[in-house]
A = this chain, B = another copy of it.
Amino acid sequence: MVDMECVVQGIIETQHVEALEILLQGLCGVQRERLRIHEICLKSGPHLGTVASEVRLLCDLEQAEPSWTVIHAGGAMRGAGAEQISVLVRSMVESKTSKNALRMFYTLGYKLDHELLRVGFSFNFHRGAQITVTVSSINKMLKLHATDEAMPVTPGIQMVEVTAPATAETYAEVASAVSSFCEYLAPLLHLSKPGISTGVVPAAAASLMSDGGGTTL
């Protein structure tokens, strides 16, 4: 049972996203998938003896029929072992759901904390682990749930996230696979554990664009 995930994040200037896509196309060997996800972040009040609980409802707007998923990302693994791993390992549980889940969680005492719209593309492939690379602009909504009126939070900058599901038995190998893969992206961007910002990488984009997608391994 998958109950953990390995994740790294980074940012890239929008002007270099096309180059990144070319590189990913070559590395992953699969077609990209368009991404348009309405993400609703809900929080409950503090429980007695428990930290505030946070749940994210994701609505995949790219599907013919919007598809809903509820995700709970828990605490990150800690300790000396975790420090030595270059990717974040955290507990993660997700469940498909129907659109009525929002009302359900409101009824259970959760409240809207914030919502955002992710627009971009992703690659899903297997390379030592089942890896997903997501490149998206993060948009905020001017009105509640108004996904048609969303504006970039950081114009000119997009977020890159690399994730892979894992279990208590497999996370070491999965972390290693994610880490290895990220090294191939190093010319274009730095990927690190969420919360550790390393900025953008200069220069490599021009070279990739001129190669016109000739990069292969």
Contact = CB atoms under 8 A, between A and B. Distances in A.
B97 A95 contact: yes
Contacts of A108: 41, 50, 52, 69
Contacts of A105: 44, 53, 55, 72
Interface string A93-122: 111111111011111110000000000000
Interface string A37-67: 0000111111111101101000000000001
In this complex, the interface size class of chain A, counting residues with CB under 8 Å from chain B, is 35 or more
A90 B103 contact: yes
A92 interface: yes
A169 to B, nearest CB: 17
A178 interface: no
